[in-house]
């Protein structure tokens, strides 16, 4: 019996999503760019899905561009904004704890001569708005700040930044991959111009996402070829996965988002209570706050190797992570923990990330806490 507690990496597809995708594969297999009945039928499915997804963030359907996921959306937003607006300035602001699909395009832009300011974070994984205000200048053309962190769950002040940029030339991009499906999102209320998401974080399929781009914000396509996606992204659209993505979003009402947040916060307290009852020494990386992304829980067990703990939990039937799945195969330490606690902190090599999902139960958390307690105690005795 295996228990999955790595939902920040990916989530299992909902049965309703699988059913919708199976129907699409069997019936609506046409190319949505074709003008015959099969193509028109597929195009209608795509249009309906785009409408559903646009409504979920308070956007117009024409402002959504389907992508292969958030990585492509982030790369498109960052690189194409920088290249198309560099006559206005060559300064960009981001944070030290962004996903690699943001940080690596930033590194490329630095090599091209752009100046990038990486805002530091405190030990809660939060940026300072004073630091942001100090960094913003007349040369700033792009700000990219994630909505919620994938390793800590810290919820960054997107609306406050949006207010600050309302009268500024800089375009505002947010990677909302972890927050989408958990937090209510309205692009106008938040003041964002660009927003990236991926379907597989909310019980949808892998390999599909979208980039929201405000209607009057134009730049050349990153993907060159045909004229799909209103000439903004070449390549035949993945209609089956797009339909599954829309179905996954239909399953999550605003009330369901709030209910999940409350349930996940309860799981955090349940684990902490169990560890304290067993007198197991631990600390929370970041904080436990109701307004965080509560599906992510990062714990430090002093003196216990991340690798050893993760491996032993896996052998016991519990899937957790040592950090971002996108860097799990790397020997590099977590850049998020490093930014929060410093490169010399023992937390970097002694922490695990537990992340909950819609199918996680209180019984599973009880069983996990019992096993976690035993493994940590045993590893400390060695």
* CATH label of the domain that carries residue 206: 3.40.640.10
User: 22, 159, 262, 326: which is the annotated catalytic residue?
Assistant: 326
Task: Dump pLDDT digits (tens) for 57-77.
Answer: 999 999 999 999 999 999 999
* Together in a domain, 290 and 157: no
Asked if residue 98 has pLDDT above 90, the reply is yes
pLDDT of residue 324: 55
Percent of the chain with pLDDT over 90: 89
Strands 3-4, 318-319: pairing is parallel
Q: Counting beta carbons within 10 angstroms of the beta carbon of residue 369, is it exposed (0 to 12), middle (13 to 18) or buried (19 or more)? A: buried
**Rg of the chain (C-alpha set):** 21
Tokens at 163, concatenated: 């207010």
CB neighbours of residue 274 within 10 Å: 17
Q: Kindly tell me the burial class for residue 95, based on how many C-beta atoms sit within 10 Å of its own C-beta (0-12, 13-18, 19 or more).
A: buried
218 exposed, middle or buried (CB, 10 Å; 0-12, 13-18, 19+)?
Answer: exposed
Q: Name the domain boundary from 250, 275, 304.
A: 250
Residue 170 is encoded by which pair of tokens?
């800089």
Res 326 pLDDT > 80: no
Can you tell me the distance from the alpha carbon of 241 to that of 24, in angstroms, rounded to the nearest whole number?
A: 9
Do 17 and 205 form a contact (C-beta atoms < 8 A)? yes
11 noted as active-site residue: no
Domain shared by 121 and 135, yes or no: yes
Same domain, 278 and 233: no
Per the structure block, which two tokens stand in for 339? 């930014």
Boundary (domain end) residue, out of 250, 280, 306? 250
Task: Evaluate if residue 16 carries a pLDDT over 60.
Answer: yes
- Same domain for 182 and 278: no
**212 & 316 share domain:** no
Last residue of a domain, one of 235, 250, 265: 250
Q: For position 145, what pLDDT does the model report? A: 98
Distance CA 302, CA 257 (A): 34
| CATH code of 301's domain | 3.90.1150.10
**DSSP letters along 103-156, please?**
HHHHHHHHHTT-EEEEE---TTS---HHHHHHH--TTEEEEE--SB-TTT--B-
Into how many domains does the chain fold?
2
Q: What is the pLDDT of residues 259-304, one digit of tens each?
A: 999 999 999 999 999 999 999 999 999 999 888 999 999 999 999 9
Quick one: 19 and 145 in the same domain? yes
Indicate if 313 and 172 belong to the same structural domain: no
Q: Clarify whether residues 192 and 262 are in a common domain.
A: no
Q: Is residue 136 scored above 90 in pLDDT?
A: yes
Q: Which domain holds residue 261?
A: 3-11+253-381
Q: How remote is the C-alpha of 21 from its chain's centroid? A: 23
Backbone angles phi, psi at 141, to 5 degrees: -110, -15
């Amino acid at each position: 019996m295996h228990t999955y507690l790595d939902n920040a990496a990916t989530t299992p597809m909902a049965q309703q999503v699988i059913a919708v995708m199976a129907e699409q594969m069997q019936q609506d297999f046409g190319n949505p760019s074709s003008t015959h009945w099969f193509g028109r039928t597929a195009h209608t499915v795509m249009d309906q899905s785009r409408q559903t997804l646009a409504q979920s963030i308070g956007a117009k359907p024409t402002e959504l561009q389907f992508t292969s996921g958030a990585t492509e959306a982030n790369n498109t937003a960052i690189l194409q904004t920088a290249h198309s607006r560099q006559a206005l300035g060559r300064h960009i602001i981001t944070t030290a704890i962004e996903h690699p699909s943001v940080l690596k395009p930033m590194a490329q832009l630095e090599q091209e001569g752009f100046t990038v300011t990486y805002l530091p974070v405190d030990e809660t994984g939060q940026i300072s708005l004073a630091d942001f205000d100090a960094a913003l200048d007349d040369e700033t053309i792009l700000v990219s700040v994630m909505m919620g962190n994938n390793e800590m769950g810290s919820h960054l002040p997107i609306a406050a930044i949006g207010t600050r940029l309302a009268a500024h030339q800089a375009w505002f991009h947010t990677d909302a991959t972890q927050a989408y499906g958990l937090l209510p999102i309205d692009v106008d209320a938040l003041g964002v111009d660009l927003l990236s998401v991926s379907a597989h974080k909310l019980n949808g399929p892998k390999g599909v996402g979208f980039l929201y781009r405000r209607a009057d914000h134009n730049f050349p396509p990153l993907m060159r070829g045909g004229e799909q996606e209103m000439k903004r992204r070449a390549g035949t659209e993945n209609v089956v996965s797009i339909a599954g993505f829309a179905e996954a979003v239909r399953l999550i009402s605003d009330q369901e988002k709030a209910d999940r947040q409350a349930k996940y916060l309860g799981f955090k307290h349940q684990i902490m209570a169990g560890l304290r009852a067993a007198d197991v020494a631990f600390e929370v990386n970041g904080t436990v706050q109701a307004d965080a992304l509560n599906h992510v829980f990062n714990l430090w067990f002093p003196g216990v190797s991340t690798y050893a703990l993760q491996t032993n939990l896996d052998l016991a039937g519990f899937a957790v992570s040592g950090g971002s799945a996108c860097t799990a195969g790397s020997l590099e330490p977590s850049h998020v923990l490093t930014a929060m606690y410093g490169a010399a902190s023992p937390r970097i090599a002694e922490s695990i990330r537990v992340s909950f999902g819609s199918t996680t139960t209180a019984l599973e958390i009880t069983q996990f806490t019992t096993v976690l307690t035993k493994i940590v105690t045993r590893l400390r005795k060695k």
